[in-house]
Homo-oligomer: A and B are copies of this chain.
Amino acid sequence: MPDYKAPLRDMTFVREEMLGFPALWQRLPGCEEVTEDLVAAIYEAVGTFCEEELAPLWRVGDEEGCTWSEAGVQTPTGFKAAYDKFVAGGWPSLTGPVEFGGQGMPPSLENVLNELVGSANWAWSMYPFLTKGARLTIASHGTEAQKNTYLEKMISGQWTGTMCLTEPHCGTDLGMLRTKAEPNADGTYNITGTKIFISSGEHDMVENIAHIVLARLPDAPPGTKGISLFIVPKQLPDANGAAGERNGVSCGSIEHKMGIHGNATAVLNFDEAQGTILGEPNRGLYAMFTFMNVARIGTAIQGVAHSELAKQGAIRYARDRLQSRSLSGPKNPDGPADAIIVHPDVRRMLLTTKAFAEGGRMLIHYLAYEVDISTLSEDSAEQKAAEDMLALMTPIAKAFCTETGFESASEGVQVFGGHGYIREWGMEQNLRDARIATLYEGTTGIQSLDLLGRKVLGTRGKLLDPFIDRIKGFCKENKRNKDVSAFIKPLSEVVSEWDKLTRSIGLRALKNRDEVGAASVDYMMLSGYVTLAYLWAMAAEVAGRKLAEGAGDESFYKAKIQTATFYYAKILPRTRGLLATIGAGSESLMAMDEADFLIE
C-alpha cells in the first residue's frame, strides 16, 4: 500500500507563490483575518489527519466494502471513528457561514483542502463532500425554516447529505425522470419513486441524512421544465429539530462496483416519503445546478487525487526497485542492478503523473480563486467575470482532470510491472477508484458538450475570449523573460490554434449540429492541454523568479521548471493529433448505419 504524504510544499507554492491567495483574501470582505500563517497551519493539521487517520483506512475500505442489511448499511471498520474525529476537529464547518455555526473561512479553502482528504481516502471523503453540496444547495435555495432545520447540523457534520438524481432508466437525460411528489395539505410533499447510484446514500456514520431529490409535481410539464427539487430527510426532524421518526425512504440494496468500495452507492426507494420543496416548483434543475457545479469541481479534485497517489507510489517504487542497467551505463555499479528510475521510459511515466498531479492542482487552485471572488467580492463586474470564468473552466476541470487522473493511475500501475496488478500494492485500487470519475457527475461526453456547445459556442465566445486574452497577455508580458522564453512560442501558437479552431467549429456547426458532438471530447481535451500549458508556464515563471532571487529550495524550483519542460516536450504535442481529428469533422462518425456497427 502506498504511503500517502500530504504535498504541503507544493500546495504552498501554488497558493501563495504562484496565485497569491493571501493577497486576494486581504481585499475580500470577511477574509481580512485569513493570513497565510493561519491557512498553512490548517493545511498542516488536515494533512496530518489525512496521513494518520484516513490513509490507513483506504485499503480497509476496499477490502471490506459496505455491508447492506434490512437494518441499513454498515461502513467499513474504522470509517465511523475517523468521521467522528473529523467532526470533533471541526473540519466540516471550516467554510460554513458563522450564523449556522461555521467558521466563515473563504470557500476556496475547502476546494483545495479536499484534495488532501480525497487523496488519502476517496471513498471515505464522499460522505462529507456530498454533505457540502447538499448544504450549499439548501443555503442558496432554501427557506429560512429549511435553513434553520438543516444547516447547522450539516455544517457541524452531525447530519450528512446526498444528491438524488439518477433513476434506472435515466441518468444523463433527467427530463425522463418519474419520481413523483404529491402535495399534502400541510405544505409538505409525499415523494414516491426509485433513485439509483446514490453515493453515500445510506450508512451508519451519522443519525440523519438529508436527501436532495429531483421529482415531478402532479401538474408538471414534461421534460426538464417539469422537475422540482425536494429535501427528504431519512429521519423526520422532531419538534426540537432532532432526528425523529423514520421517513418513508429505505435503501433497497447497494451496488457492487469496480472500486470506491468504501462508499455506499445506494438504491433508494421513496415510498410516500415526506419532503419539503427546495426553491421554486418546476425550477428544480436550476436549483440542482448549485449542487452539480460543486460536485463537478469536487470530481475534478478526485482526478488530481488519483494522479497524486499514482505519482507518490510510482516514484517511491521506481527509486527502490532494482532491475536492469541504464542503457547509458550502470548508475549503481556496486548494486546488482540500477533503480528503474534511471530508465527514460520509466521517467516518462513518472513525469506524466507528476505533470498531471501538479498541473491539476494548479487548475483546481485557479478555479478556487475564482470561487472566492464570485462568492465574496462586492465588485459586481469582478464577480460576474469570476462566475463566467468558472462556468467555462468547470467542465474542463471536471473532464480533463478525471481523464488524466485515470491515465496517471494506469501509468502508476505500469511502473510497478506485474506487481502493479496485485492488490497489496494499492496501485490497482487507485486505478479502480479512478475509473468512476469520468462517469459520474456528468460523463466526459456531457462535460464536453457543456463546454463546447453551451459555454463556448452558445455564448459566441464570450466566456472563452477573456481566458484566451489572459493567456495572450501572459505571453506578451513574458516575451523577453528568459526563464520561460522556451514556453512562450509554443504556448502562443497553441492558444491561437485553439481560438481559430473554435471559430471554425462554430461555422461548421451552423450547418450541421452533429459537428459539435463530433468535436466535443477532443475539443475539451485540447482545452485542457492548453490550460495546463498556461499554468505550467506560469509555474516556471514563478520558479525562475524565486531561483533568481535566491529564495532557497533550489531543488524544488528547478524540478518545477524541468516538469514544465517535460510537459511542453512530451504532453502538449498531443494537441497536434487533436487538432487533426477535430478538423476531420463528423462525417466519418455519422456515415455508418446503426445496424452495420455489429452484424451478427
Contacts of A498-537 to chain B: CB distance below 8 A? 512-514, 516-518, 520-521
Contact digits for A1-21, partner B, Cβ 8 Å, 1 yes 0 no: 000010001000000000000
Q: How distant is the Cα of A414 from the Cα of B448 in the complex, in angstroms?
A: 14
Stretch binding the partner chain, chosen from A138-146, A309-317, A383-391 = A309-317
How far, in Å, is A156 (CB) from chain B's closest CB?
31
Q: Give per-residue flags for A334-352: 1 if the beta carbon is below 8 A from chain B beta carbons, else 0.
A: 0011010111111110110
A594 surroundings in chain B (CB, below 8 A): 319, 339, 341-342
Bound form: Cα–Cα A347–B521 in Å: 12
Number of interface residues of A (CB under 8 A): 113
- Tallying the copies of this chain within the complex gives 2
Whether B513 and A423, one on each chain, are in contact in the complex, defined by CB atoms closer than 8 angstroms, is no
Are B588 and A562 within 8 A (Cβ)? yes
Query: By the criterion CB–CB under 8 Å, are B576 and A591 in contact?
Result: no
Q: What is the interface of chain A mostly: helix, strand, loop, or mixed? A: helix
Partner of A596, one of B424, B432, B555, B595: B555
Distance of A170 from chain B, by nearest CB (Å): 7
Task: Please indicate the chain B residues that have their CB under 8 angstroms from the CB of A428 in the complex.
Answer: 257-258, 435
Please give me the residue from chain B that is nearest to A413 by CB atom: B435
Complex partner residue of A600 from B5, B418, B431, B575, CB under 8 angstroms: B5
Q: Say yes or no: A435 contacts B417, CB within 8 Å.
A: no
Closest Cβ neighbor of A570 among chain B residues: B581
Closest residue of chain B to A327 (Cβ to Cβ) is B513
Structural contact, A315 and B599, CB atoms closer than 8 A: no
Residues on B with beta carbons closer than 8 Å to the beta carbon of A516 = 327
> How far is B514's CA from A521's CA once the two chains are assembled, in angstroms?
35
- Pairwise interchain contact A258-B431, C-beta atoms closer than 8 A: yes
A197 to B443, CA, bound (A): 36
The answer for the CA separation of A556 and B597 in the assembled complex, in Å, is: 9
A-B contacts, 17 listed (Cβ < 8 Å): A176-B322, A176-B336, A197-B418, A257-B428, A258-B421, A328-B513, A342-B594, A350-B597, A414-B439, A414-B443, A555-B593, A556-B596, A559-B596, A566-B588, A566-B589, A569-B585, A574-B581
A residues sitting closer than 8 Å to B (CB atoms) are 5, 9, 166, 169-173, 175-176, 197, 255-259, 311-312, 315-316, 318-319, 322-324, 326-328, 336-337, 339, 341-348, 350-351, 354, 406, 410, 413-414, 417-424, 428, 431-432, 435-436, 438-440, 443-445, 448-449, 453, 512-514, 516-518, 520-521, 555-556, 558-559, 562-563, 565-566, 568-570, 573-581, 584-600
